[in-house]
Amino acid sequence: MTAHSKRKPEPDHSESATGLNPGDQATPGTPGTGENVCAKCRGTGRVGNGSCEQCGGSGRVIEGIGGG
Ligand SMILES: [Zn+2]
């Protein structure tokens, strides 16, 4: 047995290359989706004393429109 430090696969919580926020369901411009006011911060981009993590502080998220 060697004492290698294990690297367990962890979900990547960092921003992806597309720049999506946690509240985004698709990249901007995706057919069938559109900008919507973030339900968590109600468009303010802030929750409490910090920025809203759902929309990344933008106050808006990309959501699917209608029932396709
Ligand atoms: Zn928000």
Reference 27, options 64, 59, 54, 57; nearest CA is 64
Centre of ligand 1 to C-alpha 4, Å, is 41
Q: How do residues 34-49 score in pLDDT, each as one tens digit? A: 999 999 999 999 999 9
> For the chain, what are the domain ranges?
33-64
Centre of ligand 1 to C-alpha 67, Å, is 23
Confidence of residue 67 (pLDDT cuts 50, 70, 90): low
Whether this model's pTM surpasses 0.75: no
Centre of ligand 1 to C-alpha 55, Å, is 4
Centre of ligand 1 to C-alpha 37, Å, is 8
Centre of ligand 1 to C-alpha 49, Å, is 13
Taken in order 32, 37, 39, 45, is the CA torsion positive or negative? positive
Tokens of 4: 């290698």
- Burial, 58: exposed, middle or buried (Cβ in 10 Å; 0-12, 13-18, 19+)? middle
